[in-house]
Structure 1
Amino acid sequence: MNGPWTLLDGAVKGVAKKYSQDRGAALSVADGRAVVLAVADGHGSAAHFRSDLGSRWAVEEFTACAREFAHEVARVGADAAGWPGLRAEARRLPRQVSHRWRERALLHDANSPAHGARSRAFGPACCPGSQGRGEEPPDLAAYGSTLIGAVLTEDMVFCWQLGDGDIVFVDGEGAPHTPLSTGPDLGDETDSLCEPEPWRKTRAHWQPFTGGIPPCLLISTDGLSKSFADHQGFLDFATGLHERVTEQGVAAVRAQLPDWLARAARFSGDDTTLVGAVTAPPRHSDET
């Protein structure tokens, strides 16, 4: 890639789970001038038995929307006159993603109803704006998933979060920042794409970089943070990863990442997915 970042992407299945409910993506776009990151965590319980599909669609639809947005962010760059327009577009993005996700879930459920066959009368009534009379719209809880995403350029970052999981910046001094954290989770309840109007519950953050880009941006599902005894332990992991990139290089961190995530999954019992963008010191430029 032509930009300053190297991408990290790792995922492991939870202990004793048949298959993972997580999905993740880390993409270089706009000729390397921007990065798109996303993770989604399907809820996975009996009520959400198709959430592996929901998390996959969440990442696919976010990256499709964010890829276009990232091109515009890279084009505007440091021209502050264009920032209000970017922020307005960023506010619209969660609704766009939610609608696209819902369309895929509705189509899948129409062809293979999650809760058994429906009458033909349902068809028209399931569609927005329909005048048809039929059953209530399908309950999309079967596909429920969280979603976290970010668009990063050398000039700024935009990030969005629906539900649990974590976004961490590690700055040039090695200090971690969690711009969308709402504190410790209470139980297993979380906001979800399967709820009505999920964009209204999506948290967002925008930040221009006046002192240079952060050398490390990590996004992870909650299987990673839950593997630590407390939140500080998770933050120490993020700063430790940044330190290892600095000391050992990106290739070494990539090689060790599967073992780190597997260890986390053993402690949390949950699927664990992490994606990130890191900048390597000049002496490791051969790895970028």
Structure 2
Amino acid sequence: MTGPETTTRPAAARTAPWALLDGAVRGVAKKYSQDRSAARLVAGGRAVVLAVADGHGSAAHFRSDLGASWAVEEFTACATPFAHEAARIGDDAALWPALREEARRLPQQVGHRWHGCALLQEANAPAHGSRWLPAADPTKPRERPEGPDLAAYGSTLIGAVLTEHMLFCWQLGDGDIVVVDAEGVPHTPLSTGPDMGDETDSLCEAEPWRKTRSHWQPFTGGAPPCVLLSTDGLSKSFADHQGFLDFATGLGGRAAEQGVAAVQAQLPDWLGRAATYSGDDTTLVGAITVPAQRSQP
């Protein structure tokens, strides 16, 4: 056993209070995954941006991998400056109302940007080719095209911004957000109740921000130990919702006991086993609170 560290270390930058998890597996018998995700530390490690998107993947949504990519990219683009502002404001409660108002507008910003991506794609390479309405007078040429049909790009979206003082999260469509508190109790702040089958809200709809659910939660005793976002391929792999919640709680517990690196190393295997049950693409991202380290003498 070696002796105590005696070398004087130079002053280091403040360590980020979170470690990130990010894992994804392709669904059984699928050619490629329709899921996309992002997990980033921003604002010098004082905030986290998380996002998962699930392209619908059916025959009617045959370009939904593009839609899921745009969902994550555009959410991240909008949420990153928001996260910087949330980190700057910190625990100054007098500025929280303005921040919450900005959070309320964020889904519309993302929706507009996503639709812009889809419309640009349609202008250059229409999903169904060039389509025109039949002319009222068959002797005259057709004059105006049909409105754009963006269903081919349909995708869900879940996003979150986490700081040491608050959590913001947004959800359109299916999937799950789980917050595991300091007592190891899981909470699903945007849960909609029983699964409604294959029906889900989508970014391809008109004004999708009107169906986006949101949640804001301030922290009085510090950030929770574990915040997880996942596509519905994970929760569908369990016999019931409680089994899924137990998985989330157990993941947070293992991270605390074994370290986040060990959990990250095992994550592909866990998600792969889940995918064999659900048959769906399965993606999970998360932020795990890292205990503050005491400085060495």
Question: 1:17 Cα deviation (Å)?
Answer: 0.1
2:45 is paired with a residue whose SS is coil
Residue 29 of structure 1: CA displacement? Answer: 0.4
Matched, 1:9 2:22: yes
TM-score, normalised relative to structure 1: 0.92
Larger Rg, first or second structure (1 or 2): 2
Give the SS at the match of 1:93. helix
1:93-104 → structure 2 map (5 Å cutoff): 93-104=106-117
Task: State the Cα distance separating 1:212 from its structure 2 match.
Answer: 1.6
Q: Report the AA paired with residue 230 of structure 1.
A: D
SS of the counterpart of 1:243? helix
Change beyond 3 A, Cα 1:90–1:283: closer
Match of 1:170?
Answer: 180
Moved beyond 2 Å, runs of 4+: 133-136, 280-285
Q: 2:130, 2:116 → 1: CA distance?
A: 19
Shift of 1:222: 0.2
Query: Deviation per CA, 1:112-161, whole angstroms, max 9, x where unpaired?
Result: 01111246xxxxxxxxxxxxx72232110000000000000001010000
| Aligned pair partner of 2:217 in 199, 207, 221 | 207
Structure 2 gaps, min length 5? 1-13, 133-142
Q: Would you say the 8 A contact 1:43–1:145 is kept in 2?
A: yes
- Percent of aligned pairs with the same amino acid: 79
Q: Determine if contact 2:131/2:146 at 8 Å carries over to the other structure.
A: no
Q: Contact 2:17–2:291 at 8 Å: present in 1 too?
A: no
1:249 matched to 2:262: no
> 2:101 aligned with 1:88, yes or no?
yes
Task: List per-residue Cα deviations over 1:173-212 (Å, max 9, x = no partner).
Answer: 1000000001121111000000011000000000100122
Give the secondary-structure state (helix, strand or coil) at the position aligned to 1:102: helix
How far the C-alpha of 1:282 sits from its partner, in A, is 5.8
1:218 pairs, out of 228, 231, 234, with 228
C-alpha separation in 2, matches of 1:236 and 1:90:
30
Using structure 2 for the length normalisation, give the TM-score: 0.89
Q: Output the aligned Cα RMSD.
A: 1.5
Counterparts of 1:184 and 1:252, CA distance in 2: 33
Q: 1:24 & 1:218 partners in 2: Cα distance?
A: 12
Q: Kindly state the Cα deviation for residue 110 of structure 1 after the two structures are TM-superposed.
A: 1.0
In the comparison of the two structures, how many residue pairs are matched? 272
Separation (CA, whole Å) in 1 of partners of 2:144 and 2:79: 36
- Secondary structure of the 1:31 match is helix
5+ residue gaps, structure 1: 120-132
Deviations 1:44-88 (A, max 9, x none): 000000000000000000000000100110111100111000000
Say if 1:2 and 1:31, in contact at 8 Å, map to a contact too. no
CA shift at 1:170, angstroms?
Answer: 0.3
